[in-house]
Structure 1
Amino acid sequence: MTSTVFLQRIADLYDEFKQHDARQSDRLKRYRNIEAESAKLLAMLVRSQQSKRILEIGTSTGYSTLWLAEAAKAVGAKVQTLEINAFRSAQAKKYAEEFGLEHFIDFWVGDASVYLAEANDPFDFILLDAERGSYVSYWEDLKRLMQSCGSSLIIDNVISHAAEVKEMLELIRLDDNFMSTILPVGAGLCLVVAR
Structure 2
Amino acid sequence: MALTGRAGIIGMAVACGLLAAGLTGCGVQGAVSDAEARRQSLELKALLSQERLLPDGFSGPAREAWQSPLAKASSDCRAVLDAATGHPPLRALEGNAAVSFQGDVLGELAAVGMAVYAGGEAEEHLEDMGRAMDGCPVLRGADPTGGTRLRLSELTLPALGDEAVSRQLRGRLHGYPYALDLVLVRQGDRLLSLVHTGLGTVDVRRTVELARAFAGMAR
State the TM-score, normalizing by the size of structure 2.
Answer: 0.28
Write 1 or 2 for the structure with the bigger share of strand: 2
Structure ID, larger Rg = 2
Write 1 or 2 for the structure with the bigger share of helix: 1
State the TM-score, normalizing by the size of structure 1.
Answer: 0.31
